Amino acid sequence: MIDPIDGTRAYITGIPTWATLVSLHDGNKPIVGLLDQPYLKERYVGTAKGTFFNGTKISTRPCDDIFKATISTTDPLQLFNGPVEQDAFFRVASRAKMMRNGYDSYAYAMIAAGFIDIVIESGLEPHDIQALIPIIEGAGGIVTNWQGEPCDKGGQVLACGDKRLHEEVVKLLNITTDEL
């Protein structure tokens, strides 16, 4: 699967966080992912054997506590499907140490490289996420939907560099109104 320009808004406005995404799906899950950002001359390749940035192996960083985490989403005000999803995102983001937004697929590369801990998105298409799954997983992270299930078909996506943090974020995203 190929997404020639992931991050079209960034591309149009000249912000170099757009990328070309290429993935190979074996019929069960994506097994190879490539994120190429030619302007920055950066290439991330992820497989079961690891994730590589311009040929050098990289990994996610440990972060088991939301209060120490850096979180990102492409656009917290426009891309969530209504106030329930937006509230769920801000419930997590309000606990994080830092929030940086607007990176599109590049935020996922930053998880793999150990600079960001969490990306939460909604409304993604399969071509938006499939290449990023092996990149993050090959670096030691985890990518699922908001319920902790596979997300290679798109929709709601949660990516974390630390699997312990992922468990905490899944719980926070799924708090019901009665639990608040």
Share of the chain above pLDDT 90, in %: 94
Distance, CA of 12 to CA of 29 (rounded, Å): 31
CATH of domain 2-179: 3.40.190.80
**So what's the pLDDT on residue 170?**
98
The band of 41, judged by pLDDT with boundaries at 50, 70 and 90, is very high
Q: The whole model's pTM is what? A: 0.96
Among 13-17, 57-61, 94-98, name the one with the lowest average pLDDT: 13-17
**So what's the pLDDT on residue 31?**
98
Q: Quick check: 177 pLDDT over 90?
A: no
Share of the chain above pLDDT 70, in %: 98
Nearest to 29 by CA among 126, 105, 159: 126
Burial classification of residue 103, based on how many CB atoms lie within 10 Å of its CB (0-12 exposed, 13-18 middle, 19 or more buried): buried
**So what's the pLDDT on residue 178?**
59
What is the tens place of the pLDDT at every residue in 75-118?
998 889 999 999 999 999 999 999 999 999 999 999 999 999 99
**So what's the pLDDT on residue 176?**
74
Distance, CA of 136 to CA of 134 (rounded, Å): 6
The band of 180, judged by pLDDT with boundaries at 50, 70 and 90, is low
What is the tens place of the pLDDT at every residue in 45-57?
999 999 999 999 9
Where are the domains positioned within the chain?
2-179
Q: Quick check: 179 pLDDT over 80?
A: no
Distances (CA, A) of 101 to 62, 77, 119, 138, 175: 21, 10, 9, 24, 23
Q: Tell me the residue type at 117.
A: D
Residues comprising the chain, all counted: 180
